[in-house]
Amino acid sequence: MFCCIISALVIKAEKMRDSKTGQFTKQVAEDRFWEKVDKRDPDECWPWLASKDHCGYGMFWLDGRTIHASRAVWQLVNGTIPKNINVCHSCDTPDCVNPSHLFLGTDLDNQRDKARKGRAAVNKTGFGKSGTKHHRSVLNDELVIAARKAYKSGVYGAVGKLAKRYNVNYQTLMNAARGRTWRHIREST
């Protein structure tokens, strides 16, 4: 009896994979995919219920590799995704896999969509957060202006003394003093 059960499982597993490549067939991949989705009304987000990456995007094994669930659903529903193209969310919910909430776009399209929706403070380049608005900022406008004045004074070690006094990394402050970073700050002279 036990042998019959095992052989039945092996036969079922063999039917799930392509005999030549060993990859899951499309039908099996679709079945595996949709059992991991909380399907709701067509206009609502459909949350991914299985594994997610550190940013909350669903992860799915398809065609021999792990990809974002949003890319997987696009491929299962619409076909291949062109090279260097992203699957973007109109709903801005990382774990949503509702095909009607997804669209294709370049990195630039995705950044513009993010800025248009107010999810990014826009700097002079049109993207990203700059200065004290950035979540990892350790400098402020006044310290950058002081560092630039110290750097321009030509006094050896002046920027280093400021870095030590304000307990910030020397190279971080020196990059701001030289204008490599914090370019949006113009000192008043």
Residues 73 and 152 occupy one common structural domain: no
pLDDT of residue 188: 56
User: Domain ends where: 86, 116, 146?
Assistant: 116
Residues 109 and 145 occupy one common structural domain: no
pLDDT of residue 189: 44
Judge whether 101 and 89 are in contact, CB under 8 Å.
Answer: yes
Domain of 145, in residue numbers = 136-177
Is residue 124, in this structure, part of any structural domain at all?
no
Residues 103 and 152 occupy one common structural domain: no
Task: Give how many domains the chain has, as a whole number.
Answer: 2
Q: Enter the DSSP assignment of 96.
A: B
Rounded to whole angstroms, how far apart are CA atoms 68 and 70?
A: 5
Phi, psi of 105 (to 5 degrees): -165, 160
Rounded to whole angstroms, how far apart are CA atoms 104 and 82?
A: 9
Is residue 27, in this structure, part of any structural domain at all?
yes
Residues 109 and 160 occupy one common structural domain: no
Residues 69 and 160 occupy one common structural domain: no
pLDDT of residue 12: 39
CB neighbours of residue 44 within 10 Å = 14
Is residue 93, in this structure, part of any structural domain at all?
yes
Residues 62 and 94 occupy one common structural domain: yes
Residues 76 and 147 occupy one common structural domain: no
Distances, alpha carbon 175 to alpha carbons 103, 122, 154, 181, in Å? 39, 21, 16, 6
User: Does the pTM of the predicted model rise above 0.75?
Assistant: no
pLDDT of residue 111: 86
pLDDT of residue 96: 97
Is residue 188, in this structure, part of any structural domain at all?
no
The pair of structure tokens assigned to 10 is 């092996």
Is residue 61, in this structure, part of any structural domain at all?
yes
Residues 75 and 141 occupy one common structural domain: no
Residues of the chain below pLDDT 50: 1-15, 189
Judge whether 39 and 46 are in contact, CB under 8 Å.
Answer: yes
pLDDT of residue 44: 96
Residues 144 and 99 occupy one common structural domain: no
What is the DSSP code string of 33-79? Answer: HHTTB----TTS--BB-S-B-TTS-BEEEETTEEEEHHHHHHHHHH-
Rounded to whole angstroms, how far apart are CA atoms 168 and 68?
A: 38
